[in-house]
Amino acid sequence: MTIQKMRSKAPTVADVARAASVSKAQAARALGGYGAVSEEVQTRVNRAAASLGYRPNEVARTMNTGRSNTIGVIVGDIENPHFGLALRGMADVARQAGFHLLLGNSDEKGQAEQDAVRVMLEKRVDGIIVAPSHSSREKNGHLLQVLEEGRALRLFDRAVIDLDVEAICCDFTAVAREATQQLLEAGHERIAYITSMELEGEYREAADFGLTPVAQRVGGMMAAFAAAGRRYDTSLIQANAGSDAQIARIVETLWQRSAPPTALIASDSLVAMSLLRAVAQRGLRIPQDLSFIMYDNFPWSEIVAPPLTVVAQPVYEMGREAARRLIADIRGEPVGPLPAFGAELILRHSVAAPAP
C-alpha cells in the first residue's frame, strides 16, 4: 500500500492544480472540459490528475450547476417483468445519453409514490418518469410539485386526469374491444377483468379508473358488448389484485356467485400467473372450463399449456421513448410528436366456447 493510498482525503482540484502548478480555476477548467485551456496546461493537468488518482466529485459539481445527470424512475413494482423490460429500455437510452437512474418502487401505493417523488426532488434529479398509481388530479399534487420546481416529468403506462404532462402509453380501447369480441363470438357472456390497480370500494363507472389503461380496457369491453347488443355486468371488474392472497380471495368471491364468469382477463403477467394457479386449484381447466386472456406477451405465455391468447405491448420501446423524451426535455431539445404505441391481440389457444 503506497503512501498515496493512505492519504486521508481524496485528491481535489486544488491538489491537482498544485501538482500541475496552475491555478485552481484553470485546473478545474481542464478537468471539467469547459472554458478555455491551452494544450500545454491541459496535458500537464491530465498528467497530474492521473498520477494523483484524481476523481471528480459529482456531488460538488451538481451543487453548483444544479444538474445531476440523474433521472428518477418510479414504478409500481420492479419485480413485475413489465417494468423490468421498461426499465431496461430507459436504462439503455439513459446510459447512452450520460444519465443515470435512481429507482423508486411505489408498490402501487400513493403514499410511497409521494415519498419517492419528494426524495428525488431533494436529491435534485433532473427529471422523473413515473407510472402513477392514481389517476385523479387530487391525488397527484406531488406531480404538480415536480413541474413547479422546474423539473422534467413524463408519465409511463398511465395518464392523470387534467394534468398536462405527456404520458407514454398504449391505447387499449381498440384491442380491448377486439379481445372481447373474440370472447363474445366464442359464446361468453360473463367476462371478468382482474387488475392490481388500487380502487376503493366497488367498480361503479369507468371514470373511477380515470385515464388509466383500465378505463380504456373496460371501455373497449363495453363497446364490444354494446355492439353485440348486450350489457356488460360491471360487477365482474375486480381491482386490488395486488397479491396472491388477494387474488385467491377474488377468485373465491367470483365463484361463489350463482353464475361464475366463463372467461378471465388478467391485467398483467403477475396477476395472470397468480390467477392461473388459483383457478387450477379449483380444478378449472383452460380453455374447456374457462377461457383466459392476459395483457403482456412474455415468451413463456407461448409455451404453457395451453398457449395463452395475449395482448402484446411494445414495453421496451416505450421505455426507451419515455427516457428519450424526458432527456430531450431536460436538455431543452425539441422532440417530435409522440408516436402511437399499439397493443396487439395475439390469438393462441386459451379461448374456446364456454362449457354448456
Partner DNA sequence: GTGAAAGCGCTAACAA
Partner DNA sequence: TTGTTAGCGCTTTCAC
Residue selected from 3, 6, 34, 258 as contacting DNA according to rule CB under 7 A? 34
149 binds, among a second copy, DNA, none (CB under 5 to 8 A by kind): a second copy
- Which residues face 309 on adjacent strands? 293
Residues whose CB is less than 8 angstroms from the CB of residue 110 and which lie 6 or more positions away in sequence, other chains included? 133, 134, 139, 198
CA distance 126 to 94: 12
CB atoms within 10 A of CB 137: 14
Under rule CB under 7 A, residue 325 binds DNA: no
- Name the minimum Å distance from CB 125 to DNA: 15
> From its phi and psi, is residue 187 left (phi > 0), alpha (psi between -120 and 50) or beta?
left
Identify the DSSP state of 113: H
Going 196 to 198 to 199 to 201, the CA torsion angle's sign is: positive
List binders of a second copy among 59-118 (CB under 8 A): 59-60, 62-63, 68, 70, 77-81, 83-85, 87-88, 91-92, 95, 100-105, 112, 118
40 in contact with DNA (CB under 7 A): yes
5 makes contact with DNA (CB under 7 A): no
SS3 at position 56? coil
- Residue 292 beta carbon to a second copy: minimum distance, rounded to whole angstroms: 11
Q: Which stretch binds DNA (CB under 7 A): 60-68, 149-157, 164-172, 285-293?
A: 60-68
- Is residue 280 a contact point for a second copy (CB under 8 A)? yes
201 binds, among a second copy, DNA, none (CB under 5 to 8 A by kind): none
Member of 4, 7, 25, 147 binding DNA (CB under 7 A): 25
Site for a second copy, residues 314 to 343, rule: CB under 8 A:
316
The one-letter amino acid at 20: A
What residues have CB less than 8 Å from 96, skipping those under 6 apart?
none
The reply to whether 31 sits near DNA by the rule CB under 7 A is yes
Find, among 215, 219, 267, 222, the residue nearest to 246 by Cα: 267
Q: State the minimum distance, in angstroms, from the CB of residue 42 to DNA.
A: 7
Q: What are phi and psi of 205, to 5 degrees?
A: -145, 160
Q: Hey, how many other C-beta atoms are within 10 angstroms of the C-beta on 12? A: 18
Contact indicator for 179, 193 with CB cutoff of 8 Å: no
Q: Which is nearer to a second copy, 110 or 219 (CB)?
A: 110
Q: Is 121 near a second copy (CB under 8 A)?
A: yes
189 - beta bridge partners?
none
Q: In the stretch 37-56, what mask flags binding to a second copy with x, by CB under 8 A?
A: ------------------xx
The closest alpha carbon to 310, from 356, 265, 245, 247, belongs to 265
Q: Which residues bind a second copy (CB under 8 A)?
A: 5, 10, 55-60, 62-63, 68, 70, 77-81, 83-85, 87-88, 91-92, 95, 100-105, 112, 118-119, 121-124, 148-149, 273-274, 276-277, 280, 298-305, 316
- Residues lying near DNA in the complex (CB under 7 A) are found at 9-10, 12-14, 22-26, 28-29, 31-32, 34-38, 40-41, 56-57, 60-61, 63-65
